[in-house]
Amino acid sequence: MRIAARQYRDVAELAEIDRKIARMPAVTSLRFERACCLEDLGWDEAAAEAYRAILAAEPTHLGARTNLGLMLHERGDLRGARDVLEPAVGHYPLAPIAHVNLAATLFESGDTASAMSHYARALELDPDDFAAHHGIALAYEALGDGSHAAQHFSRAFARRAWWTVPFTGSGTPWRVLLLVSGRGGDLVAHPFLHRETFETTMLVPEGVSPGTPLPPHDVAFNAIGDADRARVSLERACTIFAGVGDVVNDPARVLATGRVAVAERMGRLAGVVTPRMERIARASIAAERLAADGWTFPLLVRSFGHHAGRHFAYVADATALAAALDDIPGEDLLVVAFVDTRDADGCYRKYRVLFVDSAPYPVHLAIGRDWKVHYFSADMAESAAHRAEEARFLDDMRGVLGASAADALARIGRELGLDYGGIDFGFDAAGRVVVFEANATMAVYPPEPDPRWAYRQRAYDAITAAVRALLLGRRATC
């Protein structure tokens, strides 16, 4: 659970905070507000640096320690997150939030017993703590204890089924009902929902019974994006909105975008390749069984419901399989055939394209030498040549990809069938589109305020304008 004075700030507010800091540079609260603003903007490196600077001067600062720890957790650096969050419990043993956040990292690390202990301590300190009930519910659910999980989900959302981010503009706001999951797996929507235009009410389907009157809204936007992780949330959303009215990113359509289902659907399209992909019980993932079923090494193994490369391993051969499985949580895992998409220069390229109201928009091109290429870990900051290549892609996507690939992407967009969805992909040696994933979780962040990234601004502006036009052009019928 993050600490922030308020969330979802923009570049103009960052400039105002900087003006205040120029007048009062030693005020920690302003420096913390600035760090939070950087994080809201998606500028993670700058935000982490700002949090670390606060902790260097004030090691007991709860907000900086909490938020930095959560950022590390989200990146998959669970050891680093634990190192940051454990001292918070020591400094603030009576603060439920310190226990809750450490518990979440312990749970993700596989130390369920210690996680449950810290969740229980948080509930001793505050029996109504939303985050503690929510976290311990997820832990019980993972342990297969549906009864206790249901009790704590009910307590978590009994008084917090929805909440509103206030409108700050003039005139009448456009009211957005934003569906978010109690199990995670949401798309990052706040870059599109500027408070000068929108009043956003976030609703958790797990906390709403069918037939319950919904908050007043002009448009409903389903931000629950991961069909594997948040299936229960999506199914509840389908029930709540059955016959009620139009929803941007219909939950029923999102339900059809689990990783295995998407691979099967996209693999039937002309000009498209999807690696073999299968959901297999952990107990059945052994080299001999895999070989008998036609699998060959190298291959990939990953947990369901995780992104940004977390819990995702390359397995070179049979001898490496056991060690890889030790680091990946989950009873059922995803086994994926490895497709070598390296180009002649030895680099992997991961393209991201977003589909908004059926139109394709380039998001980024990440280039690196590691098979697990993500924008934050790629060689973009260090290579002017790579940035120039990305700029060409952003400025002329069809020209760079070629007509055949562009047409294949159009087919993928139609098959995906979402108002907001995207694809990460590369190319095989035959020039066919290799789908890494295609779903509604694709994140889009503004470029950081460094001249190196100025070329990315136009593409970002085009996407945000398209999403806002989509929301303003749709009206709920309820």
115 and 174, same domain (yes or no): no
Q: Does the residue 451 lie in any domain?
A: no
Same domain, 25 and 72: yes
Spell out the residues 6+ positions from residue 122 whose beta carbon is closer than 8 angstroms to its own.
96, 97, 99, 100, 103, 129, 131, 132
Do 120 and 202 reside in the same domain of the chain? no
Phi/psi for 393 (5° steps) reads: -65, -45
Q: In the prediction, which pLDDT does 305 show?
A: 66
Q: Which domain holds residue 136?
A: 11-157
Together in a domain, 62 and 153: yes
C-alpha to C-alpha distance for 224 and 251, rounded to whole angstroms = 8
- The CATH number given to whatever domain includes residue 149 is 1.25.40.10
> Which pLDDT tens digit goes with each residue over 368-390?
988 878 777 778 888 999 999 99
Averaged pLDDT for residues 84-103:
94
pLDDT in tens, 271-282: 999 999 989 888
User: Does residue 269 sit within a domain?
Assistant: no
How many residues does this entry show for the chain? 478
Residue 40, in any domain of the structure? yes
Do 145 and 166 fall within a single domain?
A: no
Q: How many CB atoms lie within 10 A of CB 51?
A: 27
Q: Which of 118-127, 160-169, 170-179, 291-300 has the lowest mean pLDDT?
A: 160-169
Judged against a pLDDT cut of 80, whether residue 3 lies above it is answered with no
Q: What is the C-alpha to C-alpha distance for residues 84 and 57, in angstroms, rounded to an integer?
A: 15
Query: Do 75 and 113 lie in a common domain?
Result: yes
**Domain-embedded: residue 372:** yes
Mean predicted lDDT score pLDDT of the chain: 87
Strand 312-315 relative to strand 299-303: parallel, antiparallel, unpaired?
antiparallel
Among residues 157, 190, 205, the one where a domain terminates is 157
In the chain, the percentage of residues whose pLDDT exceeds 70 is 95
454 part of a folded domain: no
CATH number at residue 403: 3.30.470
Domain contains 314: yes
- pLDDT band for position 44 (cuts 50, 70, 90): confident
Considering the domain boundaries, does residue 419 fall inside one? yes
Identify residue 290 by its one-letter amino acid code: L
Q: Are 241 and 362 within one domain?
A: no
Q: Which of 188, 160, 194, 159 is nearest to 176 (CA)?
A: 194
Asked if 169 and 153 sit in the same domain, the reply is no
Q: What is the pTM of this model?
A: 0.80
Do 152 and 173 lie in one domain? The reply is no
**Residues 78 and 151 reside in one and the same domain:** yes
Q: Write the single-letter amino acid at 425.
A: F
Q: Is the same domain home to 26 and 147? A: yes
pLDDT at 194: 86
In a domain, 260, yes or no: no
The 8 Å CB, 24+ separation contacts for 152-159 are 153/182, 153/206, 155/128, 156/130, 156/131, 156/182, 156/206, 156/207, 157/130, 157/182, 157/204, 157/206, 157/207, 158/207, 159/128, 159/130
The pair of three-digit structure tokens given for residue 289, joined into one six-digit string:
């069984």
Peptide bond into 127 cis (omega under 30): no
Determine contact, residues 343/357, Cβ cutoff 8 Å. no
Q: How confident is the model at residue 2 (pLDDT cuts 50, 70, 90)?
A: low
> Does residue 119 surpass a pLDDT of 60?
yes
Number of domains, the chain: 4
Q: Which of 317, 337, 357 is where one domain is finished?
A: 337
Between 477 and 153, residue with greater pLDDT: 153
pLDDT digits (tens, 9 = 90+) for 175-224: 999 999 887 788 889 889 988 899 999 899 988 887 788 899 999 999 99
Q: What is the average pLDDT across 342-354?
A: 93
Q: What is the pLDDT of residue 184?
A: 78
- 401-440: pLDDT as tens digits: 999 999 999 999 999 999 999 999 999 989 999 999 999 9
Is the domain of 290 the same as that of 251?
no
10-14, 199-203, 267-271: range with lowest mean pLDDT: 10-14
Between the alpha carbon of residue 389 and those of residues 40, 192, 384, 458, the distances in Å are: 28, 27, 9, 15
- Enumerate the β-bridge partners of residue 179: 203, 222
Task: Count Cα atoms within 13 angstroms, Cβ side, for 165.
Answer: 22
Give mean pLDDT, residues 8-18: 68
